[in-house]
Amino acid sequence: MSTPITIYGPTFSTFVRSVMMACELKDIPYEVTTEINGEKIEFRSAQHKALHPYTKFPVLMTEKGPIGETVAILHYLENTFGGKKLYPTDPFEQAQVELWSGISGIYVDTDIVRKVLLEYIFPKGENGTVRADVVEAAMPGVENALSVVAEQLGDNAYICGDEITAADLILIPIIDYIEQLEVGKPKVAAHKNLVEYIENVRKQDFAKRVLTS
């Protein structure tokens, strides 16, 4: 077996999961860790900043140095390894994948992950409770993000057509998380195609090994 590539970050991160799924689809051995060369790297530490100037994750460790930012990592994996293609060769179709990677990774992530999911993962209310008012205030943004994604998805199997692409890998962990939340499940259920989308993905081996980790 080839030496596993190293992904720095926590497995609960949606973006870390995006990279993990890419490795699964491409059959790339990998490990997800918070240690580099046997040393524990604390999040937002000086050592972390040396890996990513804004102390974000995931960071892919390579022989030439660290690569931060999910889209950059996905491109690196695409250009370095074989297996399932994550980007189409047609320039217009490739641009659509880039477009929806950006929409999912910026706008959908902000409205769903930053404003809702993180409130459940790191609650900031009294005695460590979830701030219900913060979650409620974020719901219109969640509904809008889901509506945008559902409209783009339409009758397709995946966000950019009939084949899974890098754009799906960024979107899937977000939809998976919000659909499991009590406040999010009815919002996703309002879009039949989104329910079918995430249920179809969850049945596939590449996702099973990541979404349940």
Q: What share of the chain has pLDDT > 70, as a percent?
A: 99
Q: Is the pLDDT of residue 6 over 70?
A: yes
Q: Is the pLDDT of residue 71 over 50?
A: yes
Domain boundaries, the chain: 5-80, 91-208
Domains 5-80 and 91-208 share a fold: no
Which CATH fold topology does 91-208 show?
Glutathione S-transferase Yfyf (Class Pi); Chain A, domain 2 (1.20.1050)
Domain made up of 5-80: CATH architecture: 3-Layer(aba) Sandwich (3.40)
Q: What is the pTM assigned to this prediction?
A: 0.95
- Rounded to the nearest 10 degrees, the angle between the axes of helix 70-80 and helix 166-180 is 130
Tell me if 178 sits within 8 A of 116, measured CB to CB: yes
Q: Is the pLDDT of residue 4 over 60?
A: yes
Q: What share of the chain has pLDDT > 90, as a percent?
A: 96
What pLDDT does 212 receive? 81
pLDDT digits (tens, 9 = 90+) for 87-126: 999 999 999 999 999 999 999 999 999 999 999 999 999 9
What pLDDT does 1 receive? 44
Nearby residues of 42 by Cβ (< 8 Å), 6 or more positions away: 34, 48
